[in-house]
Amino acid sequence: MTSSTNQFLKPVSTLINEKGNLEIGGCDLVDLAEKYGTPLYVIDEKTLRSICRDYKKAFEKYPNTHMMYASKALCTSAVSRILDEEGFGFDTVSGGEIYTVYKSGVDMSHVLFNGSNKSYDELSLAMDLGVGRISADNFFELALLNEIAQSKGKVADILLRITPGIECHTHEYIQTGHLDSKFGFDLTQIDEAIELIQNEYKNLKLHGLHAHIGSQIFETSIYPDEIEIIAGEISRIEKKFGLKLNEINIGGGLGVKYTQKDAPPSTYEIAELIINKLNEVVEKYNIEAPTVFLEPGRSIISTSGVTLYTVGSSKQVPHGTKYVAIDGGMADNPRPSMYQAEYAAEVANKKDTNETQKVTIAGRFCESGDILIKDIELPELNEGDILCVYNTGAYNYSMASNYNRVQKPAMVLVNDSNSDIIIKRETLDDLIAHDIIPDRLKK
């Protein structure tokens, strides 16, 4: 079957140029590091557009599919513009994400708002800006949303987020669809929610059901399993309440290839299973063919991103590990310390040796757990070498912090030998911009 871009370890435009340096998007990575400094997030536009097209093409046979990029993976104005151009909508989870896509010119009817504890202000903003769908997560939120909609004289278009009771094999912290989960309505709570919507919450209009099983998923069977459960519920609801729901949101979750060990399925593989299952349940339950929403995040943006670091000090523990320190780490990529995530990396500058040694790439932050990559074979690394870590597009910048009061890195978008800054590097003044010294403490 055709492969898709989420199955690649490196951006599609990666090559070694005539200088012997790594190049992405026609830009020499050593030149980028010199021009913009390190750590530096680099996003390859070709890779990003290529995975968007893989998704679109894979679902061509089910025209009623809407692709909603889960912007929690990486939410920036320029990335939002590209996704919008590629015909994607957005799955947002905060007022900040809603505001970012709104300011980047996205048609807000193509946006949905998810989350297990959305605030009054966020829900209000979502309604004011005309967000297309709000996925209601719990009873508290149904009441709150109805109140907000009523106060504005509007009707909120909603989905119900449900917990289908499916476990996937991924890190425990990124599973969401199992029964004892903080997200969504338990299947046994759906009827009560519908009764409330039908009888009390006159300012809510329910369109369908939403679920999300987990993230970095390699098992293809979870999608058909999920559709079976959602479709079964839709048919049951129609019979019991006479309510026809014609929207199904099956969440995101498709995995990517962080290291050679990972073998994620392709968009084409999951699309075929999803479409076959949809056709099957439409017939089996005699329901209207639903409009389907998908919310991929990681698989859209991860592969297009790499992070460049400059090598600093090294330490050989006698008879032990060789640590090589870089100028970033857990503040710009918290995934290894949070989820034991593994990454692949290469040296970006000319290395005219085939000899490698096993080293551990240590971050610069003041914590023993700040290890970016444990035991990786690389050519001998010296101070000033540029390390390129692959697959850092998703959940790196979006989870970055200012731990140790270190400035967040810049991000550049590369394509056809052009590089454009899309996020400025923070300055020392940015770090203190929100600090206030009360008058009584002033010098």
Site of interaction with ligand LLP (CB under 6 A): 70, 72-73, 91, 114, 174, 176, 212, 215-216, 251-254, 295-299, 335, 339, 395, 399
Our CB check for ligand LLP shows the closer of 182 and 315 to be 182
Our CB check for ligand LLP shows the closer of 159 and 325 to be 159
Our CB check for ligand LLP shows the closer of 28 and 225 to be 225
Our CB check for ligand LLP shows the closer of 335 and 351 to be 335
- Residue 315 beta carbon to ligand LLP: minimum distance, rounded to whole angstroms: 29
Our CB check for ligand LLP shows the closer of 99 and 339 to be 339
CA-CA-CA-CA torsion sign (327, 333, 339, 342): negative
Residue type, 199: N
- Residue 255 beta carbon to ligand LLP: minimum distance, rounded to whole angstroms: 8
- Residue 112 beta carbon to ligand LLP: minimum distance, rounded to whole angstroms: 9
Give the position of tokens 């089910």. 62
- Whether 168 is a known active-site residue: answer no
**Reduced 3-state DSSP string for the chain:** CCCCHHHCCCCCCCEECCCCCEEECCEEHHHHHHHHCCCEEEEEHHHHHHHHHHHHHHCCCCCCEEEEEECCCCCCHHHHHHHHHCCCEEEECCHHHHHHHHHCCCCHHHEEECCCCCCHHHHHHHHHCCCCEEEECCHHHHHHHHHHHHHHCCCEEEEEEEECCCCCCCCHHHECCCCCCCCCEEHHHHHHHHHHHHHCCCCEEEEEEECCCECCECCCCHHHHHHHHHHHHHHHHHHHHCCCCCEEECCCCECCCCCCCCCCCCHHHHHHHHHHHHHHHHHHHCCCCCEEEECCCHHHHCCCEEEEEEEEEEEECCCCCEEEEECCCCCCCCHHHHHCCCCCEEECCCCCCCCCEEEEEECCCCCCCCEEEEEEEECCCCCCCEEEEECCCCCCHHHCCCHHHCCCCEEEEEECCEEEEEECCCCHHHHHCCCCCCHHHCC
- Residue 177 beta carbon to ligand LLP: minimum distance, rounded to whole angstroms: 9
φ, ψ at 56 (rounded to 5°): -60, -45
- Residue 309 beta carbon to ligand LLP: minimum distance, rounded to whole angstroms: 19
- Residue 280 beta carbon to ligand LLP: minimum distance, rounded to whole angstroms: 24
C-alpha 256/C-alpha 298 separation (Å) is 7
Q: Are 381 and 324 in contact (CB under 8 A)?
A: yes
Our CB check for ligand LLP shows the closer of 395 and 397 to be 395
- Residue 136 beta carbon to ligand LLP: minimum distance, rounded to whole angstroms: 13
Torsion of CA 209, 215, 220, 226, to 10 degrees: -20
Our CB check for ligand LLP shows the closer of 215 and 266 to be 215
Q: Are 310 and 348 in contact (CB under 8 A)?
A: no
- Residue 158 beta carbon to ligand LLP: minimum distance, rounded to whole angstroms: 14
Our CB check for ligand LLP shows the closer of 268 and 285 to be 268
| Active site residue ranges | 366
